[in-house]
Each structure stands twice: as structure tokens, then as C-alpha cells.
Amino acid sequence: MVVDILTFVHHLWLVRISLTVGYTLLWYDYFLTIEDEVEYIWKSPWTAVKIIYLLKRYGILFGQTVFGIQVSGLYPEVWREVGPCALVCIACLLLLLQVCKGYGIFVAMHHLLSREFAHNLVLLRTWALWGGSRRVPSSVIVGYIVTLISIIVGIAYHEDLLDIKLVVGVCYRHIPSE
């Protein structure tokens, strides 16, 4: 992968601005709703919906923090030596697979799991709204499987998905023009 310096700087600027805005809004939403979350979620009994909700809510905060550390370029030594999440097995994966390819896999897994949690919440809500009818989740699951297959085909089509290089302390993949 040949990296044109102006293209790299432009792409890095776009990613940093997008990440900063998104991360700020995420934390704003978190603090805006924390009182309600404590009252309605944390004090409620443990159910599948509560677990899925909490995994989604805090998994996204964790993932966005990892993205921020990587994109900031402030801690390239941490990435090379320890990985972004030393307390989680993901760090081992990052070290074994080369830093940036491991990071690319982490990003793909994080996005996929975030989508999965959201889809499961929608499925449970739809099922509850329709009074527990078996036909409703069946149709939602069929639509979901079709969507998941299209995502997998799309990922398989892009052979250069893991063509990520460490450039100036930041894992960089060229943004496709098509």
C-alpha cells in the first residue's frame, strides 16, 4: 500500500474529527441518561434484555475508547508493546496478529457485536409488542439472516479489508474512492 502524505493527513483528520464528535455525543448521552439508567435499569431484576442492553451500552463505550486511543496516535508504544486492552484477551490477539491487523479484526468484531446486540433488542421488543406471537420473530429472524449474509458477502468481496499499515503511530487503511 503506497500512502500519499496529503491523502493520509486528510483521511486521518476526517477520522479524528468524526471520532471526536461521536465520542463526545456518546459521553453526553451517557451522562444525560445516567440517572434514568440507575433508576430503571440497574435497580431492575437481571433479565436477558437487561444484560443485552448493558453489554451494548458499555461495550460501545469500551470500543470507542479503544478507537480513540489508536486514532489519537498519542500512545503508539502502548499499541506495540501491550495492546489497547491488556486486561482482555483482545490484547493477546493484537500482539499475535501484528498490531494493525489485530486492530482491524477488533474493529470488525466490535461493529458486528454492536449490531448483534441492537438486533437482539429489536427482536425482543418486537416479540413483546406483538404479544409473544411466534410468527413475528420468525419473520424478523429471516430478515436478519438475509442482512447478515449480505454483510458477510460484502466483507468477503473486499480483499484489502485487512490491508492496514502502521503509519506514524496510527493504524491506517486507505479509504476507498468507490
Q: What is the pLDDT of residue 87?
A: 43
CA separation (Å) from 9 to 71, 100, 169? 12, 18, 13
- Asked whether residue 74 carries a pLDDT value surpassing 60, the answer given is no
Q: What is the pLDDT of residue 96?
A: 46
Mind listing the pLDDT tens digit for each residue in 1-20? 556 777 777 777 887 888 88
Q: What is the pLDDT of residue 177?
A: 62
Task: Give me Rg for the CA atoms of the chain.
Answer: 19
Q: What is the pLDDT confidence band of residue 161, given thresholds at 50, 70 and 90?
A: low
Q: What is the pLDDT confidence band of residue 31, given thresholds at 50, 70 and 90?
A: very high
Mind listing the pLDDT tens digit for each residue in 84-135? 444 455 555 454 446 677 777 777 777 777 777 777 777 777 777 777 777 7
- The pTM of the full predicted model, rounded to 2 decimals, is 0.57
- Asked whether residue 79 carries a pLDDT value surpassing 60, the answer given is no
Q: What is the pLDDT of residue 169?
A: 66
